[in-house]
Copies of this chain bind each other. A is one copy, B any other.
Amino acid sequence: MTWIGIDLGGTKVYGIVLHGDKIKKDAKRKTPTQGGPAAVVDTIAGVIADLGGTEGIKGVGVGAPGPVDHEAAVVRQAPNLAGWQDSNVPLGDLVSKALGGVPVFVENDANVGTLAEHRRGAGRGVSDVLGVWVGTGIGGGLILDGDLRRGPTGYAGEIGHTVVMQGGRMCGCGHLGHLEAYAGRASLEREARAPAAGEQRNMLVDLAGDGRMTSKIWADALEARDPVALELIDGAVGALGVAAANAVTLLDLDMVIVGGGLADRLGPTFVGRIEQSAREQIFAHGSQARVVPAALGDQSGALGAALMAADSA
């Protein structure tokens, strides 16, 4: 059986053809920055054409950057897609129509990434996993007893918006002390550019200038032992350790998998430090829970979307 998986991201739309166990083809196009959902649907259809079309394809899965109503295949919001201001877009129906009626399934990108790592990556053979995706923001997905936990409203897994420090740093969502405020790249950049950080020599701002403070810039500044970078990444490690420990304690998880652009760039040392921090906070003596790096890199989203489609059909 053959499935297509699409990772709809803020900068690119990446697709794969999954046949049985194997990825047979891949293709990508730039995510349109204008034209809203209609332009995105056209781009997805274009990537699928690049993959060879839908002949012999059982269904298409799309991982979308925002909260999703999986049953209805509706994207509730997609704040990281330029030009997509619409709420409650029936993306599944729109893509299916553009493809002449092929079944299309939609799920949150962090959820499908976690599914891929559980089935084919770092979490193979383990039944209870939290995936934490450290990028511009912090996404999360939960596998409990081998299955994706969506929850009654589909919002389960949002570890980035759990509190690690009561009354702490303001999060992009408007609440205080959330993990994302300490460990998401956008929030780290805000802190690095804040006046308090600016009083010190600040390699991060020197390197980024007016541009985006990329994961590479963070890695370079850490390697040069820039004090602002060291302090902010220490804070991210501690916050990720608390959130990972809390999930393990509440749910008795086997494993926390840490991936996403910033974590991939900072590498296994970063993830190892998160594991150490988590261990210092975990109650259950003798917990065997591990914190490990994601294994699938950039492909987890598209692969997970294809696996999700196969599960949903």
Contacts and interface: CB of A to CB of B under 8 A. Distances in A.
A69 interface: no
Interface in A236-256: 238-239, 242, 245-247, 249-254
A71 to B, nearest CB: 14
A65 to B, nearest CB: 16
A165 B242 CA distance: 9
Nearest to A164: B166
Interface in A205-250: 238-239, 242, 245-247, 249-250
A177 B250 CA distance: 15
Interface string A2-33: 00000000000000000000000000000000
Contacts of A283: 155, 158, 161, 173, 175, 178
Contacts of A161: 249, 283-284
A163 B245 contact: yes
Q: Oligomeric state, in number of copies? A: 2
Interface stretch (A115-123, A143-151, A191-199, A267-275): A143-151
B150 A246 contact: no
A159 interface: yes
Among A159, A168, A283, A288, find the residue whose CB has the most chain B CB atoms closer than 10 A.
A283
B252 A154 contact: yes
Nearest to A151: B252
Interface of A: 67, 127-128, 140, 142, 144, 149-159, 161-166, 168, 173, 175-178, 238-239, 242, 245-247, 249-254, 280-284, 287-288
A18 to B, nearest CB: 28
A186 to B, nearest CB: 16
B238 A281 contact: no
Contact of A152 (B162, B163, B178, B252): B252
A277 to B, nearest CB: 9
